[in-house]
Amino acid sequence: DQQVKQNSPSLSVQEGRISILNCDYTNSMFDYFLWYKKYPAEGPTFLISISSIKDKNEDGRFTVFLNKSAKHLSLHIVPSQPGDSAVYFCAASGSGTYKYIFGTGTRLKVLA
Amino acid sequence: EAQVTQNPRYLITVTGKKLTVTCSQNMNHEYMSWYRQDPGLGLRQIYYSMNVEVTDKGDVPEGYKVSRKEKRNFPLILESPSPNQTSLYFCASSPNVGTPYEQYFGPGTRLTVT
């Protein structure tokens, strides 16, 4: 059973517009969420995270929103740039555990 | 340069021939972990280590072994590889054990088992 789901395998957005990547989870014990970006032939790199005590965290062009009641988080990229084209993974973990559960990824393509 | 290194980067082997993929980090991180990435399945955690001599299973540990004899190294051992272990493998490390924290990933090892 996939505890962390990214239901959109791919997304295309025009340069300058907003990209919204979504992630759903089923385990209510998760209380820390992270987003990673992955370019081809490279390892994932950390992008932004959010703790369950918050509902929003912002870092430059990247904002993560958390809706605990819906068990849903989203990553907003504004404005989108061609260099943002990559696969994005969301991940979840629970405090007191050392395990991380990743989603299946969403491939973002930003069109120039 | 702070980094996680993996060797080899590419490996083709045959069923049943024992192999080891090495992982090393130079950031003095306590936490290290192994993942495999497969199409449609994302990243799945194989094993993780909270510190030297302390390891535990992730979601997909079957067919793999690990050891953590030194803080900087966390090798992944496949005693008897099978074709279903053909995958892209990533090692990762993190400075913080007590709280979920961002991980730093290596460049990946692409393994093919025939």
Residue of A nearest to B102 (CA): A46
Q: Which residues of chain A lie closer than 8 angstroms to B31, CB-CB?
A: 98
For A46, which of B33, B44, B102 is closest by C-beta distance? B102
- Closest CA–CA distance from residue A69 to any residue of chain B (Å): 21
Determine the Cα–Cα distance for residues A93 and B30; give it in Å rounded to an integer.
Answer: 17
Residue of A nearest to B43 (CA): A102
**pLDDT by residue (tens digit) across B47-98?**
999 999 999 999 999 999 999 999 999 999 999 999 999 999 999 999 876 6
Predicted pLDDT of residue B102: 87
Q: Which residues of chain A lie closer than 8 angstroms to B107, CB-CB?
A: 41-43
Cβ <8 Å between A42 and B35? no
Cβ <8 Å between B99 and A95? yes
Spatial CB neighbours of A28, under 8 Å, sequence gap ≥ 6: A71
**Which residue of B23, B24, B34, B43 to mutate against A (max A Cβ within 10 Å)?**
B43
Instruction: Identify whether B8 is preceded by a cis peptide bond (ω within 30 of 0).
Output: yes
Tens-digit pLDDT string for chain A (112 aa): 679 999 999 999 999 999 999 999 999 999 899 999 999 999 999 999 999 999 999 999 999 999 999 999 999 999 999 999 999 999 999 877 788 999 999 999 999 9
Predicted pLDDT of residue B99: 62
Give the least confident one: B20-29, B60-69, B98-107: B98-107
- At residue B23 the predicted structure's pLDDT band, cuts being 50, 70 and 90, is very high
Predicted pLDDT of residue B98: 60
**Which residue of A66, A102, A106 to mutate against B (max B Cβ within 10 Å)?**
A102
- At residue B2 the predicted structure's pLDDT band, cuts being 50, 70 and 90, is confident
Helix (H, G, I), strand (E, B) or coil at A6: coil
Q: Which residues of chain A lie closer than 8 angstroms to B103, CB-CB?
A: 46, 100
Per-residue H/E/C for chain B? CCCEEEECCEEEECCCCCEEEEEEECCCCCEEEEEEEECCCEEEEEEEEEECCEEEECCCCCCCEECCCCCCECCEEECCCCHHHCEEEEEEEECCCCCCCCCEECCCEEEEEC
Tokens linked to A43: 């390892």
The percent of residues in chain B predicted with pLDDT above 70, rounded, is: 96
- Closest CA–CA distance from residue B101 to any residue of chain A (Å): 8
Is residue B100 scored above 70 in pLDDT? no
Q: CA torsion sign, A103 to A106 to A107 to A109? A: negative
Predicted pLDDT of residue B101: 79
Tell which A residues from 47 to 66 touch B, by Cβ distance under 8 Å.
49
